A and B are shown apart, each in its own frame.
Chain A
Amino acid sequence: MNPKNTREEIIVVSELCLSYGTSLILGNATFSVEQGQCLAVMGGSGCGKSTLLRSMVGLLRPKSGRISVNHTSLWGGSQEPDWEILRNFGVLFQSGALWSSMNLLENVSLPLETFSGLSAREIKELAMYKIGLVGLKGAEFLYPSQLSGGMKKRAGIARALALDPKVLFFDEPSAGLDPINCRKLDELILDLKQNLGLTFVVVSHEIESILAIADDGIFLDANSKSILARGHPQTLRDSCAVPEVKNFFARSLPSSVQNQN
């Protein structure tokens, strides 16, 4: 475990409001992500988990509120996010979102070619190393369409790792994966967290993998459009009094639906 007692807060989100057009998705969200921790963003479908992630990685401008990364605001005055900050982020999209016209090696090399000052040979070596790191050695020259769902996610992680980011954002890493691959992916995340000291923000509703990987969690709710609970997932599961959170972990239906049946 991390010997430091006081961990640094790397991302601080305060009073964040998100909306698509006129419909509010998430209101007044305040939380923080600590260095070297894995924060799970939980909640049922449609509660704004992915939207929250989109605004944290610079894809959706918040309606109000502030996201600061190491005391610098991500969404400053302008319409565009701060690209310097985003360069310290790696993002894994739900489907992997690999560039389909490039093979795996080119996918991982592109960020390096664009932003690093390395020579072509160094870039190739580095990209090969990242691909090996996620366990895809031998698949370097395959195109995304030739990869299975699990491999695509791994490849997505390799690309997200390309620029040695400090924070990794995962959007539903276990969506569409079988239990075994899901478990392997969890192991990979734990590996990366332990060995590289990375910080993770994982959006998920897969209870088992949340319990396996997360150190901290926030629970979003679709009806109140806010954060209902915050804490270690295990603590939330065992002793949270909020009925929605209880139901989520127990996989039981809310009482109103039960009455109807």
Chain B
Amino acid sequence: MSTDYKTGKANKPNCPLLKIEKEEGGFCLFFSGEWTNSHTKNETLAEFDSFASKLSENTTCRFQLSDHFIWDSSFLLFLQHVEQRISRHGSRVDFSYLPEGIANLLAKNETQSLEQGRAEAQLETGVSFFDQILSSFLRVAEFWGKWLMFLSGLIRGKSFARGRDFLLACRDCGASALPIVTLISYLTGLTMAFVGSVQLEKFNATIYTADLVCLAMVREMGPLMVAIVMAGRTGASFAAEIGSMKINEEVDSLRTLGIPAIDFLVLPRTLALFLMTPLLTLYADIVGIIGGLTVGTQVMGFSALHYFEQTQSALLSMWEIYSGLWKSLAFGLIVGLVGCYKGINTGSNSSSLGKAVTSSVVISITLIVVADALFELAYSYLGLR
């Protein structure tokens, strides 16, 4: 009796071919063709199953390969499957006709599991979901507490933070951010002027575009836009910088010298951002108003002086501007603290660094929007609007 099992693409040259021949005391499984991972072997295996199910006990299956047989690891896996199926039916497998290399590899794959004891030591994760939430809250609280502690140390003149680092951070998150802040706030002012003028034209009150742009910029859009740019630009860079220092053991080497990372790395950065965000916001307010002015003079045909006078009259008091700056102080603190916290708590590999950077941006922006809403609520309850 002789049965041929072939895969679907039998007409192709070198396709994997399995031929089963009956011989004395059992069967001979004759493999020929190219058994590499360029052909799927599922069909062959399925057909082999139907053959294996008919095997009677105590037959011996012998494996044999053709001359110039080409194989890779997928052939080894196929052989393992075949062996499992044969021995499941109480038959024996004879590897002795296989080349030595294949037989050795098959034997090795079975014996080389991880040494016991090592594996079980790693598997202890007896931490409940609740504990995880609690510990993450505690970590945030610890970070915040330490930050306040080191800040008070800085005020009392006992700190490892260096003025040079503070100035560098100021430059990085302040002056270097001017181009992007300029672009974004100019376009924001411009867009608001366009949107506003279309609505106000219906009431023949286009000059009030100046009021609209000015108030929206100083109260809302200025602080918010700057904070979002800072979150994406500076917060992410804090997280990435401190996180890679952590991975590189640089934070550890600071610590062994007795220099706390929060004092030396976090404090200058957060304070720089705390200080620079309001300044950038003030700048963004002005640029946004200029954006509105561009539309007012070029599209609506007001004179620049007229537009400015209208803008000035919209600002009832300096509080309009200060209220936005107070917000931006809080936003700067949020972005700086979240970025540094995520950096300090990075794990020890590069994928956790990526996660830290992503979540620093996401959390910063979320907190910024929440804080903005809280500020507006507080202002309106206190009668400050």
Pair from one complex: yes
Alpha-carbon distance A58/B259, docked complex (angstroms): 12
Q: Which residues of chain A come closer than 8 Å to B117, judged between CB atoms?
A: 223
How far in angstroms is the closest Cβ of chain A from B150? Answer: 13
The answer to whether B122 has its CB under 8 Å from any CB of chain A is yes
How far in angstroms is the closest Cβ of chain B from A172? Answer: 12
Residue in B112, B248, B252, B259 whose CB lies within 8 Å of A114: B259
Q: Which residues of chain B come closer than 8 Å to A83, judged between CB atoms?
A: 258
Given contacts A22-B126, A23-B121, A23-B122, contact A97 B248 (CB under 8 A): yes
Name A99's closest neighbour in chain B (CB-CB): B250
How far in angstroms is the closest Cβ of chain B from A173? Answer: 14
How far in angstroms is the closest Cβ of chain B from A227? Answer: 18
How far in angstroms is the closest Cβ of chain B from A257? Answer: 8
Cβ contact within 8 Å between A260 and B252: no
Cβ contact within 8 Å between B250 and A114: no
Q: Which residues of chain B come closer than 8 Å to A28, judged between CB atoms?
A: none
Digitize A11-47: 1 where CB-to-B-CB distance is under 8 Å, 0 elsewhere. Answer: 0000000000111100000000000000000000010
How far in angstroms is the closest Cβ of chain A from B369? Answer: 32
Alpha-carbon distance A87/B255, docked complex (angstroms): 10
How far in angstroms is the closest Cβ of chain A from B239? Answer: 15
Q: Which residues of chain B come closer than 8 Å to A93, judged between CB atoms?
A: 249, 252-253
> What total of A-B pairs shows CB separation below 8 Å?
63
Cβ contact within 8 Å between A222 and B252: no
Cβ contact within 8 Å between B118 and A99: no
How far in angstroms is the closest Cβ of chain A from B163? Answer: 12
Find residues 94-126 in chain B having any chain A CB closer than 8 Å to their own CB: 111-112, 117-118, 121-122, 124, 126
Q: Which residues of chain A come closer than 8 Å to B252, judged between CB atoms?
A: 54, 59, 93, 97
Q: Which residues of chain A come closer than 8 Å to B259, judged between CB atoms?
A: 114
Alpha-carbon distance A250/B118, docked complex (angstroms): 23
How far in angstroms is the closest Cβ of chain A from B330? Answer: 28
Name B165's closest neighbour in chain A (CB-CB): A101
Cβ contact within 8 Å between A260 and B118: no
Name B116's closest neighbour in chain A (CB-CB): A223
Find residues 75-110 in chain A having any chain B CB closer than 8 Å to their own CB: 83, 86-87, 89, 91, 93-95, 97-101
- For this complex, 16 residue pairs linking A to B, each with C-beta atoms less than 8 Å apart, are A21-B127, A22-B124, A22-B127, A57-B256, A83-B258, A86-B258, A87-B257, A93-B249, A93-B252, A95-B249, A97-B249, A97-B252, A98-B253, A114-B259, A159-B253, A261-B111
- B positions within 8 Å CB-CB of A: 111-112, 117-118, 121-122, 124, 126-127, 160, 162, 241, 244-245, 248-250, 252-259
The 3 closest A-B pairs by CB, nearest first: A97-B249, A83-B258, A97-B253
